Amino acid sequence: MSINVRESLQKINIRGEILFDQPLSGRTTLHIGGPAEAVVVPDTPLELLSLIPHLIREEINYTVLGFGSNVLAPDEGYQGCIIDLNRCTRFSFRGRYLFSEAGIRLEYLIQSAAELELSGLEHLTGIPGSLGGAVASNAGSFGRDIASLLEWVDFIDPSGKLRRLHASDASFSYRSAPFAARSIILEAGLRLQVGRSTEILSSMERARSERRRRGYYRHPSAGSVFKNPLGLEITAGELSEQVGLKGKSIGGAQVSPEHGNIIINTGNATSSDVRQLIQLMHRRIEEETGIHLEEEIRPLE
């Protein structure tokens, strides 16, 4: 471990926790990834307003990790500092508005909104990520994404400054959000609708059982490997199945036998196994169908 990251972080005053040599395999849903040099767990989002400029000044690489459900972390680990927002989970409702810090588990917000008979989030039931991770990738399912509920997002930009993005002025699109690399989403405001709790709860249950039926939770994975091709009637999973990739393995990584757009860790997969399998899928689909797919899983860098 490079001594200056440890020394540098000891110079700053953080009320939260600073951990060293943390295995990323314990922080990603694929259970893959070597050690992170440092993990900073701030108590409040505002602590990042001094930490991030410090990291920029000291030229320390950093990134934010939510629940690790959409990332591929390198086997060699991460040189630099991972920001973990799992203590930044305060939220409140005002009328139909929900204001929340980014580290909270999406599932918890959905349940809390349902208890207040507030509807809008339930189609996201079963996505195993944080609010910040969902906003960063414009997560969605069953044809709706989180951007359709957003009013504003507070984030730290890559120069370390706090900014507010008004969703009405921003261009979110399918699995894509308008934040530059190394932006850190701190809080968001969402507008929900008044609903009936029986209907909200039953659509949550429908979403959950549909995901179970598709086998999403049977093995460790990072969700969809590729975005669906826009403007075509066929999904990435169908394309993968069509070219015979279902069940294909490299090392411990396998294209799920149940879903052609999911790679599972069968027990001892490495990041390199997954990377090679993604490349093979990419190549095979492009060669046999002429369709170029864009990756949805993000490398942790």
Nearest to ligand FAD of 108, 117 (CB atom): 108
Shortest distance (Å) from residue 237 CB to ligand FAD: 12
Q: Is 125 in the site for ligand FAD (CB under 6 A)?
A: no
Of positions 35, 74, 129, 189, contacts ligand FAD by CB under 6 A:
129
- 33 contributes a contact to ligand FAD by CB under 6 A: no
Q: Which is nearer to ligand FAD, 183 or 240 (CB)?
A: 183
| Least CB distance to ligand FAD at residue 40 (A) | 13
Residue tagged active-site, from 100, 130, 224, 256 = 224
24 binds ligand FAD (CB under 6 A): no
Catalytic residue among 37, 47, 107, 296: 296
CA distance 210 to 203: 10
Burial of 222 (0-12, 13-18, 19+ CB in 10 A): buried
Letters for 229-248 (x = contact with ligand FAD by CB under 6 A, - = none) are --------------------
Could you say which of 61, 79, 141, 249 contacts ligand FAD (CB under 6 A)?
A: 141
Does position 298 interact with ligand FAD (CB under 6 A)? The reply is yes
* Minimum CB distance to ligand FAD smaller for 52 or for 136: 136
The whole-angstrom separation of Cα 26 and Cα 35 is 10
Nearest CB to ligand FAD, comparing residues 264 and 285: 264
- Interface of this chain with ligand FAD, residues 165 to 224, rule: CB under 6 A: 183-185, 216-217, 221-223
Q: In terms of CB distance, is 11 or 213 closer to ligand FAD?
A: 213
CA-to-CA separations, 262 to 73, 85, 160, 217, 291, in angstroms, rounded: 16, 27, 35, 11, 18
In the complex, the residues that contact ligand FAD under the rule CB under 6 A are 29, 63-71, 85, 102, 127-130, 132-134, 136-137, 139-141, 183-185, 216-217, 221-223, 298
Q: Which residues are catalytic?
A: 175, 224, 296
